[in-house]
Amino acid sequence: MKLKLSKTTVEALAPEPDKQIIVWDSDIVGFGVRVSPGGSRTFFYQGRLHGKAKKVTIGKLGKVTAETARKDAKRIASMLELGQDPSPPKHATAATAPTLGDLMAAYVELLESQGKVSARNVKNQIARDIKSAHPRLWAKPAAEIDLHDCMVIVGALVDAKKPRQADKIRSYIRTAYSEAINAHGDANMPASMRRLKITFNPARDMRKVKGSSKAKDRALSLAEFRAYWRRVQALPEPHRSLAMLHVLTGGQRQQQLARVTLADIDRDAPSMRILDYKGRRTEPRIHIIPLLPEALDAIDRITGGGEYVFSCDGGRTPIHNAFLNDIAKRICAEMKDADELENGPFTAGSIRATCETRLIAKPYRVSSDVLAHLLSHGMGTVQRKHYQHHEFFDEKLEALEMLHRMVKGQPEPGAQVVELRTRA
């Protein structure tokens, strides 16, 4: 019996009360499903390896979908054609086979070997959301992890209303398996990754989590931005100077600010160097931010005997990633109580969005190229990577001067306000 094995057709198959039945797929030769008398439906693939019959169980309907089973069948067929055994090595037992934990640890080691500053944060997230939350799966052989197991890990975070974190963990698992597969032909990979011998990525068909990349930051209105600035001025030190610096440098990313040291401050051509590791780059992009006199004054107020600029203890340790968010959250609550909030709550990320949104509009009209260099985004185009080498230092300085006048409520030089006459 042959038919197209889809979710509908497989679920419609009626079991025989006294025997197992097999139904073959009409499109993929060797792909079939077994229907037991009890009603369970198990997908499998049957082919030949080195001239001998080889049957590989794919999984039961429910743990795998018909669509996933079809993709697995094609993968198994390709491996058999290449003379590769799709079954796990016989010598690998549950006690000796590399586990999911070994895979994720190797992935973190790979990030560290690439110089990724995010490696430590990724390691902590993996330990919390996989190792501690799912110890049974953490100890399960990596080659035996299936799509259902991946969904258990990611689904728990979705159920906890953490879509962004859920999608991060989905991405970490998917990338870890992908890198382990690539390690077969890459001697530059860490030994911990090469020895895993992973041939299949169970997370490849996991869909992006809805709501994970939904824009959560909004742009403040001019009135809100100026109210925020006034309240920043009233904060105690070092919170006042740190929040001022965040605004006066254009709302730079918090993680990058936390890495700035005194060695990154150039007082001769007042500027601050930021190492931008964002994205897949292994070498940071040097990002130079001009410093206004008010920004230098703020740096002098908060630095001491330590090396870090953005610090609460004189530079001995950098601020936490949530530090500026906590300040924004507190000011947001104060503005709400004072009826100064026009469009709902905001975060520290909203300050970054506000800087760009307000500077590109009238009367400032800062170009998108200047804003891209000021905020270090959209720099990966061919034109910018290979042909455009202008650093826009003076233009960035002018934009920051506009930003300072903006929050203080000062008019732009040369800007005119035309009063419209009302009809008689």
Residue 282: pLDDT band with limits 50, 70, 90: low
Position 201 in a domain: no
Kind plus residue range of the DSSP H or E element containing 333: helix 323-337
How many beta carbons lie within 10 A of that of residue 405, not counting itself? 14
Position 88 in a domain: no
Residues 240 and 379 in one domain: yes
Residues 71 and 110 in one domain: no
What's the CA gap between 319 and 375, in Å, rounded? 20
| C-alpha dist (Å) from residue 424 to 48, 269, 363, 421 | 93, 56, 30, 9
Residue 416: pLDDT band with limits 50, 70, 90: low
Domain limits at 20? 2-81
Position 87 in a domain: no
Long-range contacts of 39-44 (CB under 8 A, 24+ apart): 39/15, 41/10, 41/11, 41/13, 43/5, 43/69, 43/72, 43/73
- The share of the chain scoring above pLDDT 70, in percent, equals 90
Could you report the per-residue pLDDT of 149-164, keeping only the tens digit for each?
999 999 999 999 999 9
Average pLDDT over residues 215-239: 89
Position 115 in a domain: yes
Residues 233 and 376 in one domain: yes
Residues 173 and 289 in one domain: no
- Spatial neighbors of 177 by CB under 8 A, at least 6 apart, are 103, 142, 198, 200, 201, 202, 203, 204
Domain's final residue, options 20, 50, 81: 81
Residues 159 and 58 in one domain: no
What's the CA gap between 289 and 376, in Å, rounded? 10
This prediction's pTM: 0.56
Are 51 and 30 contacting, i.e. CB atoms less than 8 angstroms apart?
no
Position 418 in a domain: no
Query: Strands 21-25 and 2-3: what pairing?
Result: parallel
What's the CA gap between 103 and 138, in Å, rounded? 9
Residues 77 and 106 in one domain: no
What's the CA gap between 403 and 232, in Å, rounded? 15
Residues 237 and 277 in one domain: yes
Could you report the per-residue pLDDT of 183-211, keeping only the tens digit for each?
888 888 888 898 888 888 999 888 888 87
Could you report the per-residue pLDDT of 8-31, keeping only the tens digit for each?
999 999 999 888 999 999 999 999
Position 398 in a domain: yes
Residues 160 and 286 in one domain: no
- 124 has pLDDT over 90: yes
Position 332 in a domain: yes
- The DSSP letter of residue 183 is G
Position 210 in a domain: no
CATH code where residue 369 lies: 1.10.443.10
CATH code where residue 11 lies: 3.30.160.390
Are 129 and 202 contacting, i.e. CB atoms less than 8 angstroms apart?
no
Kind plus residue range of the DSSP H or E element containing 246: helix 239-248
What's the CA gap between 143 and 177, in Å, rounded? 10
Residues 265 and 403 in one domain: yes
Helix 368-375 and helix 393-408, axial crossing angle in degrees, nearest 10: 90
Residue with tokens 């930021």: 274
Number of structural domains the chain divides into: 3
CATH code where residue 144 lies: 1.10.150
Residues 247 and 391 in one domain: yes
The dihedral through the CA atoms of 176, 181, 187, 193 has a sign that is positive
Residues 128 and 57 in one domain: no
pLDDT at 382: 41
Residues 65 and 128 in one domain: no
- The share of the chain scoring above pLDDT 90, in percent, equals 62
What's the CA gap between 156 and 177, in Å, rounded? 20
- 279 has pLDDT over 70: no
Tokens of 298: 């703020």
Residue 383: pLDDT band with limits 50, 70, 90: very low
